[in-house]
Structure 1
């Protein structure tokens, strides 16, 4: 007859074993690329579930401790982000949970969340609409100085070069002078026909797909209104890329490009002025990239509300 005893087998925990020869405090320790669903209201009152990649970190202040409790960070991320819509209060509570789970090990915590937010966009002229996926990055920090949160996203748009447009107009003028004798009266019907022919557009300005990368810090208490931010930037640029497009929409897009000629400097200043005027935004950093069709390199401009160094990086 065998007696079975209920015993708990102790599992080895090598992370708790100090290594004096490798002692030292660490800036950040944690995990990146955690796969988790997140709930987010982009500002239209509709909470959307998205697949996210999350980074969760604390610092390690104890030189004598070999590591942190990564499983605790993971479980807190899962508990908070998969069940509650992301907002500043939820993220601050989550980071406080990070520190509470690492008492005497850490005094700073941070989290990064990366996902795509689908926003429905109406066509320019027709009654159609379609979806745009905007990349969203949320970075939150908690330390003795308090809680800080920044939101990043991107706006993709078309930019038509003003210099190229001027050169194209000059060539069209030259072609007009060749095709219509200065000594003869102009025939309106002939001119209209000429303008509608390929001869009437012997040159076209170059345009390119362009990207505005935004990093924004909202004032304390302000909602994370992503759609308002996107609308603001797309409206001042005038030529955001489109979704559903019929002929009338494409023509309207061509008209918008012709009415919004811009260098990357122009685009940067437009966005800078618009975000400066937004009372909900405490600080911002913008990188404009015009992916040139003329050159193999890009034209780039930076703009910021705060002080920047000579490379466009914010100080502080």
Structure 2
């Protein structure tokens, strides 16, 4: 005979009446299979947040185990796509009949891609932090995709100051009117010739986009590719000497302050028809200063993301 077990959340009175915007859980560990457009399915280890609102002002609380069990079922039997994630929200709502009419789930994981080196043809793995949020409000599902891309940024001001020092060193070294080309070539290849180099730093572009519709797949790859192609200097995986030299050339030809990077990213996102809105943050982790340089921008649509 099954022993009766009390359900306090269902039977007890609330200590104080009132509605709540979101109630649920965070840091839920989940293995997932992710389906992304133009990429093979990928197994990831995700951390989830699951929420519903609490509309009944007299209810003690929600049924958190029902949220967890819906995510567990999803993890075990489904692939992560926009439509399957929407179905999870539907389960959240249906399992909280009369308590909730809004739901939200957020999934955070690293998405691994094989990336080819700049010149040598070698390949290696790179991990990209990804966050996907699905929200059900007013009988509408809103999907948001967030990625972070790491790149190198070389300071334009530092580059100009370095060039000036090189000019001064050249003027001091070659005082005669006639100069042999071989002399100059040898000097330029020496430590004395390049007396200064501009400072560069590892930088991160964080981008969040709001998707227009429930497509069959999340297009994680296209968003990452668009950002890396626009910034020109994404950090590398497998690197040989020729790749390192090419990386140095790309840095020298793509000098940028954080404002430059933010404008470049904003421009490329404005060209994408799949995103109804976007938010971006550029972080340059300064090698000269002890603080960071930051730029933030949004698409600027009515009732959209704010900076």
Range class of TM-score, shorter chain = over 0.9
Q: 1:20–1:262: structure 2 CA closer, same or farther, 3 Å change rule?
A: closer
Task: Compare 220-229 and 152-161 and name the one that shifted more.
Answer: 220-229
Matched, 1:172 2:170: no
Cα separation, 2, equivalents of 1:185 and 1:198: 23
8 Å Cα contact 2:32/2:75 also seen in 1: yes
Cα separation, 1, equivalents of 2:43 and 2:15: 46
Cα separation, 1, equivalents of 2:185 and 2:109: 51
Cα separation, 1, equivalents of 2:235 and 2:267: 21
Matched, 1:110 2:101: no
Cα separation, 2, equivalents of 1:167 and 1:269: 24
8 Å Cα contact 2:39/2:221 also seen in 1: no
Consecutive unaligned residues of structure 2, counting only runs of 5 or more, are none
Cα separation, 1, equivalents of 2:173 and 2:136: 70
Partner of 2:49: 55
Q: CA shift at 1:45, angstroms?
A: 3.3
Partner of 2:177: 184
Q: CA shift at 1:315, angstroms?
A: 4.2
Q: 1:42–1:173: structure 2 CA closer, same or farther, 3 Å change rule?
A: same
Of residues 124, 130, 147, the one that matches 1:136 is 130
8 Å Cα contact 2:14/2:59 also seen in 1: no
TM-score scaled by length of structure 2? 0.96
Cα separation, 2, equivalents of 1:34 and 1:49: 16
Q: CA shift at 1:199, angstroms?
A: 1.1
Cα separation, 1, equivalents of 2:297 and 2:248: 27
Cα separation, 2, equivalents of 1:20 and 1:308: 38
1:157-168 → structure 2 map (5 Å cutoff): 157-168=151-162
Cα separation, 1, equivalents of 2:264 and 2:15: 55
Partner of 1:264: 258
8 Å Cα contact 1:18/1:64 also seen in 2: no
Consecutive unaligned residues of structure 1, counting only runs of 5 or more, are 1-6
Number of equivalenced pairs: 306
Cα separation, 2, equivalents of 1:44 and 1:81: 22
Cα separation, 2, equivalents of 1:293 and 1:30: 41
Q: CA shift at 1:38, angstroms?
A: 1.1
Matched, 1:250 2:247: no
Q: CA shift at 1:167, angstroms?
A: 0.6
Of residues 259, 267, 276, the one that matches 1:282 is 276
8 Å Cα contact 2:151/2:203 also seen in 1: yes
8 Å Cα contact 1:308/1:315 also seen in 2: no
Q: 1:238–1:188: structure 2 CA closer, same or farther, 3 Å change rule?
A: same
Q: 1:315–1:298: structure 2 CA closer, same or farther, 3 Å change rule?
A: closer
Q: CA shift at 1:242, angstroms?
A: 0.4
Of residues 180, 194, 202, the one that matches 1:201 is 194
8 Å Cα contact 1:39/1:83 also seen in 2: no
TM-score scaled by length of structure 1? 0.93
Cα separation, 1, equivalents of 2:124 and 2:76: 27
Three-state SS of the structure 2 residue aligned to 1:201 is coil
Of residues 16, 26, 38, the one that matches 1:22 is 16
Partner of 1:314: 305
Q: CA shift at 1:307, angstroms?
A: 4.7
Of residues 2, 11, 22, the one that matches 1:8 is 2
Q: 1:20–1:126: structure 2 CA closer, same or farther, 3 Å change rule?
A: closer
